[in-house]
Amino acid sequence: MKYKRLAKEELIELEKEFVNFLASAQITGPDWEKLKQDENGKAEELLDVFSDMVYEKVMSKIKYLEYRDNRSLNIYCCLEDKILLVGLRVKENYSLDLTADDLFDQMNKSSNSSVNIIHSEKGYTKDRGVEVFELVKSGCYITDEKLFVTIKGII
């Protein structure tokens, strides 16, 4: 598997898509039930293929990811051939909280020297979808370009 198998709850939500997937392989409902009983290994393999297809579609649509804790903020821009990173790091001896809703108000009130602004880029070392998936698994969540553009504008 390239990603991971969808959970039972996720498969239930995607029942219509899974039925279409099976139909494209010329597997009917009764055939699927028989396959699960008689050839469980093949049924498991089909679940894995379907799961990878779903994750591939989702990962291909992700452009921006965000990871934040109280001392760091990372915004990733996932392009086709590389990933860009902009972010903030709170310097030692400063109490700025990067998880706060009023982050930019806090930054305006404190000195500009309270954070380091970081930026970098790198080519993918693995398949793009796999790297994006790993970022999501590590705690990143999908976001839009607003914060990326804002921080990029500061640089």
Report, as an integer, the average pLDDT of 122-144.
96
Mean pLDDT rounded to a whole number for the chain: 91
Cα distance between residue 35 and residue 53, in whole Å: 20
What does the pLDDT look like over 30-73, one tens digit per residue?
999 999 999 999 999 999 999 999 999 999 999 999 999 989 99
Alpha helices, H only, 25-154: 29-38, 40-61, 103-109, 128-137, 146-154
Contact 132, 62 (CB under 8 A): yes
The pLDDT score that the predictor gives to residue 134 is 97
Label residue 110 by pLDDT band (50, 70, 90).
low
**Domain boundaries defined on the chain:** 8-61, 64-154
Report, as an integer, the average pLDDT of 15-39.
94
Reduce the DSSP state of residue 135 to 3 states and report it.
helix
Sign of the CA dihedral with 18 first, then 19, 24, and 26 last: positive
Q: What is the pTM of this model?
A: 0.84
Kindly report the length of the chain.
155
